[in-house]
Structure 1
Amino acid sequence: MSTTPNPPSPNPRQAKGFLVTVALPSTLPASRLRRHDVFALPENSGERLRIESLAPHPQLPTRLVITPVDAPMPITLHVDEPVQPISMHRSVEVTCQLCGASTTTEIDLVAHGEPKTWVCNRH
């Protein structure tokens, strides 16, 4: 029986290099939301809304029509109205600051922050 310990596995986020992120603020303008995001309105932060569809209002260009999953009807928000982000999964392309290599990575902006800079694992 071998007593040699197994080497630690790399963290999946570190396998592609070193990503520097900046935390999101506690509220964002509604214009930052996308389909499948989860958010809450500040006045009702206990109710989570997952976006099924999102589109500009047909007559009011500064408004968004948001249809939450399992909601009886859509809601309309001003593009600058603050919302509390809960989950905002994005696929982002990052470029290595040292060699120019690029990759696409999946990240939840709420949990991990917005990507600002990246260095690939070759450095």
Structure 2
Amino acid sequence: MKKLIAVIAPLALILSACATTDTTTTGAASTTQQLGAAALKIAVNAKCTTELNNIQAWKTATTLMTAEKKQSIETEICGCVSEKAPQSVTAVDLATAALDPAARTTIVSNAVTKTINACVAESVK
């Protein structure tokens, strides 16, 4: 998954540079934030899956589920986390996540931690 992120983030940066026509500083900052958000969503989804599978309550709750049902719920929860996590991150963090892999790891961990429980609760309803 890390290899996928390493390939997608620079590719997204290159492709977005071609699509941007605004050459002002604000335009560059906006593009960086968008890239940060895209990179963050990818990383959050991967981290969510790992974190979810490490939660003992999740392990217990899914022991009697079929693999398809477990995957379906996991996809729903991590999709929710991927959508909500960027809302708990500042614009500066998004820009940093686009440029610094080490900072991205910390930002992703914090974002997943803040949102995973809410998404699990939503999914269970």
Greater helix percent: which structure?
2
- Normalised by the length of structure 1, the TM-score is 0.25
**Larger Cα-atom Rg:** 1
Greater strand percent: which structure?
1
- Normalised by the length of structure 2, the TM-score is 0.24
